[in-house]
């Protein structure tokens, strides 16, 4: 459940508390003004095992960079981490920061982005953009659906290829975005791919060759319910999960812990429904996950998976991550040394193109039930997770101003081309 600017203190009002915050006040865990949801910089978790321990404490890990972690934690969680010898620096009250970032005085209507961020696509705008693209480029673009969200929203997919209406014998590539609700920049990333590979067809030689030789699939939002909830009322909610109700009254499954490959195997997800990394009651219990899995399964033609390459875009930390996430091992059941070397080679090439850092997913911390573990484990698809801009940044990590859409999505043009070239 979200709490809106509630503090553990009964004496100070929210406005006074925010004032103290912006003047550089710092608090210890024992301070009565410690926010119910505090944004902290964590230092001292210098190994993947230590960061896994932080994640398992149940905090909301926002980003990881250069060994430092940004997390949202309750006073109890913060005290617990300090008790493990970690250094936590309070950056602010997460709920107050969200409220301030949401536009403050100038509110737009519900279900639109807060004032100043209108350059981001709402769900309705995203759907309209796909339809307009398909009608403007009917020979190479077609929109369909992979299923419905919990609340019944369609999850559209666009196919881009020459002779788009026929299922040609060409290697296929999949790009997926906006699995986590608040990671709105990723929706724009998928729309950038759609725009580039349609508008550039016939004029850009590289684009034209790719569209002629491959079949490109793009899913701009895997979590439309969460994305709409996150912007409802013109104020950002900081929401991550989907919107499925849980048995304890909380809401949401972390769909990137819900995929049906070694689901819940390795302490890389939570069994607590209120956790930000709740894995769900069973593998693929989230309809959004089933939609993606069913679509990918449908691309097995004549016993052969047609999709050869995949990127799932997230924010933030500027990372290129590859499987597996469920184990620290590079070579393990389902991953040979040669296969791992290929992941690393293509991953590092993409990272060199966009200035991100490339690494195995578990080098951050252990995760299980992730989309990329499933894509490779179940379907042998060369699958990466990108953590986009910025490298760090607290609240702005999820809500960069819309002026960043063009520079941060075009920044990945080269990486997208590398992935497509390696999808063979």
Residues identified as active-site: 387
Question: Using CB under 5 A as the criterion, what x/- string covers residues 27-56 for binding Zn ion?
Answer: ------------------------------
B/e letters for 81-111, b = 16+ CB within 10 Å, e = fewer, are bbeeebebebbbbbbbbbbbbbbeeeebeee
Residue 241 interacts with Zn ion (CB under 5 A): yes or no:
no
Q: Are 307 and 383 in contact (CB under 8 A)?
A: no
Contacts to Zn ion from residues 170-189, by CB under 5 A: 180, 183
CA distances from 261 to 137, 226, 256, 342 (A): 37, 23, 11, 21
Question: Using CB under 5 A as the criterion, what x/- string covers residues 343-382 for binding Zn ion?
Answer: ----------------------------------------
Q: Between 183 and 228, name the residue whose CB sits nearer to Zn ion.
A: 183
Residues 163 and 141: their CA atoms lie apart, in Å, by 9
Q: Between 215 and 254, name the residue whose CB sits nearer to Zn ion.
A: 254
Q: Between 150 and 180, name the residue whose CB sits nearer to Zn ion.
A: 180
Which of 277-285, 314-322, 356-364, 396-404 is the region at the interface with Zn ion (rule: CB under 5 A)?
314-322
Q: Between 129 and 364, name the residue whose CB sits nearer to Zn ion.
A: 364
Residues 373 and 225: their CA atoms lie apart, in Å, by 24
Contacts of 133 (CB under 8 A, 6+ apart): 141, 143, 158, 194, 195, 198
Residue 417: Cβ within 10 Å count: 16
Residue 314 interacts with Zn ion (CB under 5 A): yes or no:
yes
Q: How far is the CB of 178 from Zn ion (least distance, A)?
A: 9
- As a residue count, the chain comes to 424
Q: How far is the CB of 304 from Zn ion (least distance, A)?
A: 30
What are the residues facing 270 on neighbouring strands? Answer: 278
Contacts to Zn ion from residues 180-239, by CB under 5 A: 180, 183
Q: How far is the CB of 179 from Zn ion (least distance, A)?
A: 6
Q: How far is the CB of 327 from Zn ion (least distance, A)?
A: 20
Tell me the Cα Rg of the chain. 21
Q: Are 35 and 9 in contact (CB under 8 A)?
A: no
Q: Between 108 and 221, name the residue whose CB sits nearer to Zn ion.
A: 221
- Size of the residue set binding Zn ion (CB under 5 A): 3
Q: How far is the CB of 312 from Zn ion (least distance, A)?
A: 8
Residues 51 and 45: their CA atoms lie apart, in Å, by 5
- Residues near Zn ion (CB under 5 A) are 180, 183, 314
């Amino acid at each position: 459940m979200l709490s809106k600017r509630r503090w553990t203190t009964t004496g100070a009002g929210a406005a006074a508390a925010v004032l103290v915050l912006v003047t550089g006040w710092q608090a210890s865990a024992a301070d009565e003004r410690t926010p119910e949801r505090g944004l902290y910089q964590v230092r001292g978790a210098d190994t993947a095992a230590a960061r896994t321990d932080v994640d398992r404490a149940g905090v909301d890990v926002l980003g990881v960079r250069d060994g430092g972690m940004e997390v949202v934690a309750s006073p109890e969680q913060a005290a617990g981490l300090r008790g493990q010898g970690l250094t936590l620096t309070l950056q602010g009250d997460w709920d107050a920061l969200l409220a301030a970032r949401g536009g403050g005085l100038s509110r737009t209507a519900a279900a639109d982005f807060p004032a100043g961020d209108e350059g981001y696509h709402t769900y309705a705008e995203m759907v309209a953009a796909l339809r307009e693209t398909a009608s403007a480029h009917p020979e190479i673009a077609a929109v369909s659906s992979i299923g419905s969200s919990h609340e019944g929203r369609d999850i559209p997919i666009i196919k881009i290829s020459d002779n788009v209406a026929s299922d040609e014998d060409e290697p296929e590539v999949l790009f997926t975005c906006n699995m986590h609700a608040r990671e709105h920049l990723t929706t724009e990333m998928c729309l950038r791919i759609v725009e580039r590979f349609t508008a550039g067809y016939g004029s850009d030689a590289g684009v034209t060759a790719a569209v002629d030789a491959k079949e490109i699939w793009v899913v701009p939002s895997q979590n439309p319910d969460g994305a709409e909830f996150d912007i409802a009322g013109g104020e950002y909610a900081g929401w991550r999960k989907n919107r499925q109700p849980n048995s304890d009254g909380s809401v949401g499954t972390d769909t990137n812990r819900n995929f049906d490959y070694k689901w819940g195997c390795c302490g890389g997800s939570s069994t607590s429904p209120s956790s930000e990394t709740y894995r769900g009651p069973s593998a693929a219990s989230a309809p959004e996950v089933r939609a993606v899995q069913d679509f990918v399964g449908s691309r097995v033609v004549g016993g052969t998976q047609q999709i050869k390459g995949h990127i799932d875009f997230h924010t933030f930390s500027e990372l290129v991550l590859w499987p597996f996430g469920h184990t620290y091992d590079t070579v393990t059941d389902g991953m040979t040394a040669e296969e791992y070397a290929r992941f690393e080679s293509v991953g590092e090439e993409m990272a060199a193109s966009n200035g991100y850092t490339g690494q195995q997913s578990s080098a951050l911390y252990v995760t299980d039930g992730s989309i990329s573990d499933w894509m490779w484990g179940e379907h042998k698809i060369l699958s990466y997770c990108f953590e986009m801009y910025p490298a760090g940044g607290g609240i702005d990590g999820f809500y960069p101003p819309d002026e960043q859409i063009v520079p941060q999505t075009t920044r990945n043009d080269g990486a997208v081309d590398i992935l497509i070239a390696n999808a063979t």
